[in-house]
Structure 1
C-alpha cells in the first residue's frame, strides 16, 4: 500500500513522538525517584521503580518482535501505545508502592512494543537505502531525552507534583495515537501460525534471573550466585528450544549470516561500551575533578550531544550513498580512542579536556548506533524483521544492564578498599569531600582516578573488539529497492 509524502511525514512524526515519550519516561522519572519513594513511604525499594520498568521491557522485547511478525507491526504498536497511556495515568494515581510498581511493570512491557514496532514500521515502509535516515531520526529521541529529561523531570516535580511526571504522557500519547491511526498503513506481511511459548518462557526465566543477579552483585552474594545458575539453565534451555522450534522466537539460524553476527555484536557495543558508563560519569567528575553536581552534568551532555550529531549525520550519509561499513569502522575507532584517552588522563586537568574526549566517544558511538539496526534488518528475511530488530535491541539492553551493575560493583569495592582510615564509603558524598582539607580532596580524587582508569581501559578494549567486528562486516551498499531483501514484501512508496 503506497504512502503519500504527506502521510509518510505524519507517520514519522507519530513514531518520533512515541519514541521520544518512551525514552523520556525513564529520564524524567529518575529525577523524581526520591520524591515519589519518600511520599509513598518506600525509600528502601526506590530502585524498583526503574528496575521493574527495565526488567519488563527487556523480557518482552523478543516476544513483541515475534508478535509483530505474526499479527502485524501496526496492531502491536497501537495496542502498546494504548496500554502505555493507560498505565502512565495509573502510575500517577498510585496511592501505595505496590500499585506503582505494578503500573510501572505494565508501562515497561508496553514500552518494549513501542520501541520495537517504531523501528519495524520504518523498516516495512522504506527501502533499505532510505532506512538509515529515518531510523536515525527515530533514534535521536534517546539522546534528546537524556539532555532534557532530568531538567524537565525536576521542573514538573517541583511545580506540578510527581504524578504529573507520569500524567504528562497521556495528552502527548493521545496525539501520537491519533496520528498513528491515520498514518500507519495495514502493511503486507507473511502470516504464520503458532507462537513459540516454550522459547518465550525459557528466555524470560534466563533474562529475569540475569537482571536480578546483576542487581544483587555486592548486595547478596548467595542470591546472586543462585540467580546466575538459574539464568544459565534458562538460557541453555532456550537455545535447545529455539534449535528445534518450527517458528522460533529468536531465529538463531540467521546467525549463520556474517552480517547478522557482526551487526549484532556491533550493536551490543553501544550498550556495553557507553550506555553502561553514562550513569557514573557525574559521580566520577564530582570526585576526581572536584566539580559541583551541576558542572559535572556537562560531561554527559557533551557525550550525548556528540552522539546526537553523528547519529543524524551518519544516517543521512548512509541513505545518500548506500555505504555503511565505513561508519562502523570509524565510529568504533573513535570510541576506542576516546575511552583509551580517558584511561590515561591525569586528575586535575581543566574540565574541557575530558568533555572533549567524551564528546569524541559520543561522536563515534552515534555513527553506528541506529545505522547498524538498518544493516541487520536489511540482511534478514522481511517476514522476520520484528524478530531480528528485537534481537539487536535485546543484546544492547542486556549488555548495558549487566555492565552497569558490574561497573557499580567495581567502583563501590575499589573506592572502599582504597579510602584512608576514618572515611566511610557508604557516607562519602561529593559535599563531604569538597568540604574536606585540600590534601584529603586530592587523595580522594586520585583514588577515583585510579579506580576508573581500568574501567575506561576495559571499555576501550570493547570498542577495539567492535573495530574487528566492523572490519568483518561484509562490504556493500544498501539497496535502493525493498525487493533486495531476502524475502521481499510489496514495496511501499514514500
Structure 2
C-alpha cells in the first residue's frame, strides 16, 4: 500500500533537508573563498573550489540516474548522503588547496546523487497528481540556499572559521541520515540491464568535462588555445556519444525519449531555465553596482528579489497543479512573464530607483518558478517508471549545462564589451565599484551608461530565450496529471539486499 501521510511527511522533510545541504554547499562557500585561499596559500586555484564541485555534480548526473534505476534509488541516495558527510569532514581538515579541491569534487559527486535521487524517490512514491506539491517543496531548497548561503557563509567564516562552513553539514546531515533510514522506503530497482553503458558513460563524461572546462576558461579569458582545444574535444565527444548511444543496448541517455513531445518540450524548458535566468543571476550585483551606483550590500537586493519571486511561485504553482491536475498553463504563463520581464530590463534607462529593477526581476523569478519544479514532474510522467532516474537526470543535466555555458558566454561578453567602451584612462581589469564611486560625476555617468549598453543585448538575448520557451510550452500536450496511484514500495523483508 502507499506510504502513510505521516511517513510521507517525514520523507519530504528528509529529502528537503539533504537537498538543501547539497544546494547550500554550492552557495555558502562563495563568501569564504578569499579567506580559504589566503590561509591555504593558493589564490590561483581558488576558482577550482567552486568549479570542481560544479563539474563533478554535473558530469555524474546521467551515470547516477542510470544507477538509480538499476540498483534502486534508496541505495544511491543513502550512499550519496554518507559520501557527502565524509567529504564535508575532509574539506574542513584540508591542509592545502589540492586536498580541498579533491574533497570538493567528492562533495559535488555526492551532491548530484542527493539532488537527483530526492526527485526520483518522490516520483516513485506519489501519483503524478500529488507530485507537484511535494516536488515544489523539495525544489524550494535551491532558492532558499541562494538567499541564505552567502550571508551564512560569511557569518560562519567570521565567527567560527572557514572550516565550519563544511563541518556544519555533519550534525544536520547525520540527523537527516537517521531520518532517511526510517522514512525512505525500499524501492525495488528496475530490471537489471544486460550491459551497463560503460562506453557511453565514459565518452559523455569526457565530452562534458571538456565543455565545462572550455566554458570556465572562456569566462576567465586567460587560456585561448586551451579553451579552443577543450571545445573541440567536447564537440567530437558529443558526436561520438550520439553514435555510441544509438547502438547501446542500455544507453544512459535513451535518445528515443526525445521522440515523445512531452519529454522534448519539457527538456527544452528545463534548458531555458539554466540559460535564461540562472546564467545572469551571478552578474546582477555587478550590473546594479555599476549602472545604479549602489553599494555591494544594496546590489544584492535585486537577485534576492528574483529568487524570492521564484520561491513564491514555485510553491504556489506546485500546490495549484496538485489541486487542479492542470499543468500546461503554468509554463506558458511562466515563460511569457520571463520574456516580458527580461525585455523590460533591456529597455530600462540607467539611474532609475532600485525598486524598479527589483520588481522587474521578481517578475522574471516568478515566471521561472512557475514551471521550475513542475516540468520535472510532467516529464517524469511521460517516461517509463523503470527509467525515472534516467529521465530525471536528463532534465537536471540540460539545466546545469545550459547555465554553465551561458554564464561563461555572458561573462565574456561583459568583459569584452566594457573594455571596448571604457574611456581613456580607465582600465577594465582594475575597474571596481569603489573606484567608480570616487570618480567625477561625469565618469560615473559614463560608466553607468556603458554597463547599461553592454547589458542591453544580453537581456534581449535572454528574453528571446524565454520566447523560445513559450513555443516549447505551447507544444506541451493538453491533459491533466494522473491520479493513478503508484505501485506499493517494497517492504524491508522484500529488499534485504538493498
Task: Give the whole-Å Cα distance in 2 for the aligned partners of 1:55 and 1:250.
Answer: 19
1:71–1:191 Cα contact (<8 Å) kept: no
Give 2:206's aligned residue: 205
Q: Please report how far the alpha carbon of residue 173 of structure 1 lies from its aligned counterpart in structure 2 after TM superposition.
A: 0.5
Q: Deviations over 1:107-147 (max 9, x none)?
A: 10000100000000000010000111111000001111111
Task: Give the whole-Å Cα distance in 1 for the aligned partners of 2:133 and 2:62.
Answer: 24
SS for the counterpart of 2:258 is helix
1:213–1:224 Cα contact (<8 Å) kept: yes
2:418–2:454 Cα contact (<8 Å) kept: yes
Give 2:130's aligned residue: 130
Task: Give the whole-Å Cα distance in 1 for the aligned partners of 2:189 and 2:105.
Answer: 30
2:2–2:488 Cα contact (<8 Å) kept: no
For 1:407-446, list aligned pairs within 5 A.
407-446=410-449
1:481–1:491 Cα contact (<8 Å) kept: no
Give 1:486's aligned residue: none
Q: Deviations over 1:13-53 (max 9, x none)?
A: 00000011011111111110111011100111110000000
Task: Give the whole-Å Cα distance in 2 for the aligned partners of 1:303 and 1:192.
Answer: 44
Give 2:238's aligned residue: 235
Q: Please report how far the alpha carbon of residue 471 of structure 1 lies from its aligned counterpart in structure 2 after TM superposition.
A: 0.4
Task: Give the whole-Å Cα distance in 2 for the aligned partners of 1:231 and 1:414.
Answer: 27
For 1:65-464, list aligned pairs within 5 A.
65-193=65-193, 194-217=195-218, 218-464=221-467
1:3–1:492 Cα contact (<8 Å) kept: no
Task: Give the whole-Å Cα distance in 1 for the aligned partners of 2:341 and 2:406.
Answer: 19
Task: Give the whole-Å Cα distance in 2 for the aligned partners of 1:492 and 1:259.
Answer: 29
Q: Please report how far the alpha carbon of residue 224 of structure 1 lies from its aligned counterpart in structure 2 after TM superposition.
A: 1.0
TM-score with structure 1 length normalisation?
A: 0.98
Q: Please report how far the alpha carbon of residue 491 of structure 1 lies from its aligned counterpart in structure 2 after TM superposition.
A: 7.4
Query: Structure 1: which 5+ runs fail to align?
Result: 484-488
Q: Please report how far the alpha carbon of residue 490 of structure 1 lies from its aligned counterpart in structure 2 after TM superposition.
A: 4.4
SS for the counterpart of 2:246 is helix
Task: Give the whole-Å Cα distance in 2 for the aligned partners of 1:367 and 1:91.
Answer: 36
SS for the counterpart of 1:216 is helix
Task: Give the whole-Å Cα distance in 2 for the aligned partners of 1:48 and 1:411.
Answer: 22
Q: Please report how far the alpha carbon of residue 482 of structure 1 lies from its aligned counterpart in structure 2 after TM superposition.
A: 3.8
Q: Deviations over 1:72-102 (max 9, x none)?
A: 0000000000000000000000001111011
Task: Give the paired residue count.
Answer: 488
Q: Deviations over 1:329-359 (max 9, x none)?
A: 0000000000000000000101111110000
Task: Give the whole-Å Cα distance in 2 for the aligned partners of 1:358 and 1:456.
Answer: 11
Query: Structure 2: which 5+ runs fail to align?
Result: 492-498
TM-score with structure 2 length normalisation?
A: 0.97
RMSD between superposed Cα atoms in Å: 1.1
Task: Give the whole-Å Cα distance in 2 for the aligned partners of 1:431 and 1:372.
Answer: 42
Q: Please report how far the alpha carbon of residue 2 of structure 1 lies from its aligned counterpart in structure 2 after TM superposition.
A: 2.9
Q: Please report how far the alpha carbon of residue 225 of structure 1 lies from its aligned counterpart in structure 2 after TM superposition.
A: 1.0
Task: Give the whole-Å Cα distance in 1 for the aligned partners of 2:425 and 2:350.
Answer: 23
Give 2:35's aligned residue: 35
Q: Deviations over 1:130-171 (max 9, x none)?
A: 111111000001111111111100000000000000000010
- The list of structure 1 runs, each at least 4 consecutive aligned residues, that deviate by more than 6 angstroms after superposition, is none
Task: Give the whole-Å Cα distance in 2 for the aligned partners of 1:235 and 1:490.
Answer: 39
2:334–2:371 Cα contact (<8 Å) kept: yes
Residues 210 and 402 of structure 1: is their aligned pair in 2 closer, same or farther, counting only changes over 3 Å?
same
Task: Give the whole-Å Cα distance in 2 for the aligned partners of 1:389 and 1:211.
Answer: 21
1:127–1:491 Cα contact (<8 Å) kept: no
Give 2:495's aligned residue: none
